[in-house]
Chains A and B, each alone.
Chain A
């Protein structure tokens, strides 16, 4: 990326008649191009490719063949669907509130695309390295709730409104465990910047976070899948209950924007999971390759990144192919009574372990003494965290089992009382 910037800077310095300082102007243009490519090429392509992939994978899971007529392996089927979507009539219902109705889909799609601004997809390739990176992801994700709510309400349709209500109750409740899981990662990494988190996951400093914090990963991934609204958490568009939920009145490209929003958000969740827990672009040979040639090192890192993203995308499709949909009360119980308390306890335990292993330093003028186990280093910390996570999972299982037994016994008593 540096090379591209330098090359563009050279071109622009020959045409410095516009009176802007050359170096920042060149990087601004490079990042603008990066953003345009992300928004205008990657987003629609992600939707097209992922729809095809999803239909194929779910077909295989359900012992079918899936699309296989158009092109090799039916890959042109998604193209044909996209063209069909583009040429359909754009309908605005008569009773709809026109302006929110038209802004809604765009807001949802933009919110999903904006997440990619802080994701380091390859060594040296990141939109912008904010010091508040993962906090930004949460804030931007909030806009997709708003887009759903706006479009659900302005459609002036009872099913759309029901879908919007479900969306709000679901997304707001699952945001809490997701944010707490993100805070846990930030505490362990000592930073909220996605780039620093990626760089902290080398072998020397303790390895990928999925080994240190499998429980945090589980909480984050489940809450994120719920946040995207994918199966088994797809209550906001449960077609057997409320037709299609919030986007029932949309047609043509506006419906397409919702599809883009969903698939790009799923992609962003996969990318974020890969960044936070699988070490982003870290992998065997990346450091050497970057040292030898920044460009080919970047390509290698990008390949690793895509592979890691692919794992999570596949897991999400696997969910969709196998798991039945939650009921709304089960969904909220799961979020508030299990994930939220568990993530809080997890945060406390992880913060305690981090303090034990913290090397001493001087920060903001105050001297911070080293933790008692600081000499064990990153690997020791990883192993301790792993043991703590397994213990936490075990304790949670015990607690959940006790509650389940009690409620089952209560149910039996109630039945017995009725029968007598």
Chain B
């Protein structure tokens, strides 16, 4: 069951990503981007990371893609360049076959190298069932990854203040001149 779902989500994600890159219409590209990201959230669910999956959907569907769409629509910049000329059916089929070959051979080599060690981590289904994925994420953010977490939050704060300064600068100048 899981493997079918993996190929379903993964396949749609790959198709959506390709469609995003090769689409003429910027709004359609943004919508395909969202499709890809939602499918990747599905992959996160398959990996038992529901919190990350929902956070991904919330951040991208709720904010980022909506803002991308907003800007594209506001500027009226829907139509970009058309499909490049080197992209013919023959070339794309060749690239696809090369990728398939690379994947198959790479998997074979990987299996041959690591076939004896089973891949396990500390976060198993049993651990998630006992502690819950939110608690696990929170705990590792505030213990193991505290420094990167705080750095990221400072970076975001700087970004927010920067936006306010850039956006409000003209207003401040205007006020100073006016009063």
The residues of A with any CB-CB pair to B shorter than 8 Å are: 97, 100, 130-132, 135-136, 138-143, 145-146, 149-150, 153, 161, 164-165, 168, 172, 175, 192, 364
Listed by A's residue number, 18 A-B pairs whose Cβ atoms lie within 8 Å are: A100-B31, A131-B51, A132-B50, A135-B54, A135-B58, A139-B55, A140-B57, A142-B57, A142-B66, A149-B70, A149-B73, A150-B31, A153-B69, A161-B73, A165-B74, A168-B67, A175-B62, A364-B135
Q: Which residues does chain A contribute within 8 Å of B139, judged by CB atoms?
A: 364
Contact A131–B70 (Cβ < 8 Å): no
| Pair A135/B51 contact, Cβ less than 8 Å | yes
**Partner-A contacts on B (CB < 8 A):** 27-28, 31, 34, 50-51, 54-55, 57-58, 61-63, 65-67, 69-70, 73-74, 131-135, 139
Q: Given the complex of chains A and B, what is the CA–CA distance between A139 and B61 in angstroms?
A: 8
B54 in complex: contacting residue of A136, A143, A149, A150, CB < 8 Å: A136
Would you call B62 and A131 a contact (CB within 8 A)? no
B residues less than 8 Å from A145 (CB atoms): 61-62, 66
Q: Which residues of chain A come closer than 8 Å to B70, judged between CB atoms?
A: 149, 165, 168
Q: Which 9 pairs, one residue from A and one from B, show the smallest C-beta to C-beta distance?
A: A142-B62, A139-B58, A142-B61, A139-B57, A131-B132, A139-B54, A168-B70, A364-B139, A135-B54
CA distance A172 to B69 in the complex (A): 13
Q: How far is the CB of B168 from chain A (nearest CB, A)?
A: 13
A168 to B68, CA, bound (A): 11
Report how far A358 CA is from B155 CA in the complex, Å: 32
Asked whether B34 lies within 8 Å of A146 as measured between CB atoms, the reply is yes
Nearest-neighbor residue (CB-CB) of B41 within chain A: A139
Contacts of B57 in A (CB 8 A): 139-140, 142
A130: contacting residue among B34, B50, B65, CB under 8 A: B50
Q: In the complex, what residue of chain A is closest to B132 when comparing beta carbons?
A: A131
Q: Which residues from chain A contact B61 at a C-beta distance below 8 Å?
A: 139, 142-143, 145-146
Q: Kindly list chain B residues whose C-beta atoms are within 8 Å of the C-beta of A139.
A: 54-55, 57-58, 61-62
Besides the known contacts A131-B51, A141-B62, A149-B66, 18 further A-B residue pairs in the complex with CB atoms under 8 A apart: A131-B133, A136-B54, A138-B58, A139-B54, A139-B55, A142-B57, A142-B58, A142-B62, A145-B62, A146-B66, A149-B69, A150-B31, A153-B73, A165-B70, A165-B74, A168-B69, A172-B62, A364-B139
Chain B nearest Cβ from A56, distance in angstroms: 35
Residues of A within 8 A of B73 (CB): 149, 153, 161, 164-165
Residue of A nearest to B143 (CB): A364
Taken together as a complex, chains A and B put the C-alpha atoms of A164 and B135 apart, in Å, by 37
Q: How far is the CA of A237 from the CA of B57 in the complex (A)?
A: 26
- Which residues of A have CB within 8 Å of B54? 132, 135-136, 139
In the bound assembly, the distance between CA atoms of A140 and B31 in angstroms comes to: 16
A171-B27 Cα distance, complex, nearest whole Å? 20
B63 and A172 contact, CB distance less than 8 A? yes
- In angstroms, Cα B7 to Cα A258, docked, is 33
A75 to B73, CA, bound (A): 42
Q: Measured between C-beta atoms, what is the minimum distance from A189 to chain B in Å?
A: 13
Q: Give min CB distance, B139 to chain A, whole Å.
A: 5
Query: Could you tell me the distance between the alpha carbons of A138 and B58 in the complex, rounded to whole angstroms?
Result: 7
Name the residue of chain B whose CB is nearest to the CB of A168. Answer: B70
Complex alpha-carbon distance, A29 and B170, angstroms: 60
Chain B residue with Cβ nearest A135: B54
